[in-house]
Structures are given as C-alpha cells and as structure tokens.
Amino acid sequence: MKTLLKVAGAILACLVLLLVVLRITGVGPLGHTPGLWIKGNSVTTPVADWSFANKYQTLEIQTQTPYLLPHSVTTYFVVYQGQLYVSSSYPAGVKYPHGRTWNEDVARDPHVRIKIGSQLYNCMLVHVTDPALSAAVTQAKLARYPVLKIPPHGSNQVFHAVQIGAAEHASGN
C-alpha cells in the first residue's frame, strides 16, 4: 500500500510540475492544433477601432474549460465598422454551441483572452443574435477570406469581442 501511495504521489507531483512548466512556457495553439495558455504583451488601454488588426490573417482566442485548464485556438476574424468579430460555421444538424470546444467554453463563460500579433486583450465574446448584423459580419468575413464557405444548410454563429475594462478606462474610473 505504501508503494502505491508513493507511486501515485510521484505521478501527481510530475503532473503538477508539468502544468507549472506549461503555464510558464505558454503552449499556445499551433496552426489548427489547439493549445493552452497564450502569451504576449497585455494591453489595458481601450481600443476604439480594431482596424489595426486587419494586417493579421488570424488571431488566437483563449477560453476557460470546465476542468480549470485554458483552451486556445487560432481562428479567422473580421473587423466590421471598427468592431472585432469572430465566428464559427456549423454544418446542418449541428446546433450551437455543440461541436466546437471553444464555443462551448464561451457559452459557459464569455471571458476570453485574444491575441492579435503579440498583443493580448481581455475581452468578452458576446453572441450576436441580431440577424441583420450577423449577416453583415458574415458577408464581410466571406469577402475577407474568399476561400471560406458556410456549409449548405449550415449556420454561422457570430461573436462580438468587447474589450473588458475599456468602459472604465474611457470614463476615467
């Protein structure tokens, strides 16, 4: 029994050490492979116009999973009327938020970190429910990325990235 406890303790210690190393190094997403923590320079000044992001093709989003580890992905985005939007396409029969881990995480907790270039922004992803705005953002995204297609009879779920703390900075609080 003592040997079993020693082995279990050693395994647990190794896992904790591994998580500490991963937290320090980041291990963000690589291409289409999801990652854990994203690293960069934290930006706390409010962003009034996200158009600067257009010089990048993708951004990274870090969500919080229910098992207390972050989940990060690389995704396409669009700046529409100066505002930042991300979206996910779903094939017919698959209902939001199921099928995309980061969407499930956002549905549970909308607080995310977004990395554009080397800059990190604390944001909330707000699900866009206005059909006209969703359609306009989707068309802007399809124009920006002509190779993207929405699956036939599928849906496109759009999220507005709202910077956390921007209102407080703008009002001087």
- The per-residue pLDDT for 2 is 78
Q: How confident is the model at residue 170 (pLDDT cuts 50, 70, 90)?
A: very low
Distance CA 138, CA 86 (A): 9
Q: Note the helical H segments in the chain.
A: 2-25, 101-108, 131-144, 166-171
Which of these, 118, 113, 116, 107, lies nearest to 164 by C-alpha position?
A: 113
Q: Which amino acid type is present at position 126?
A: V
- Summarize pLDDT for 2-37 with one digit per residue, the tens: 776 666 565 665 455 555 544 455 566 767 789 989
Establish if 138 belongs to a structural domain.
yes
Which of these, 167, 33, 162, lies nearest to 86 by C-alpha position?
A: 162
- The per-residue pLDDT for 90 is 87
- The per-residue pLDDT for 68 is 86
- The per-residue pLDDT for 120 is 96
Q: How confident is the model at residue 171 (pLDDT cuts 50, 70, 90)?
A: very low
Domain range for 140 is: 29-171
- Summarize pLDDT for 93-150 with one digit per residue, the tens: 888 788 789 999 999 999 999 999 999 999 999 999 999 999 999 999 999 999 988 8
Establish if 1 belongs to a structural domain.
no
φ/ψ of residue 114, rounded to 5: -120, 130
- Whichever domain contains 129, its CATH number is 2.30.110.10
Domain count, the chain: 1
> Between 20 and 71, whose confidence is greater?
71
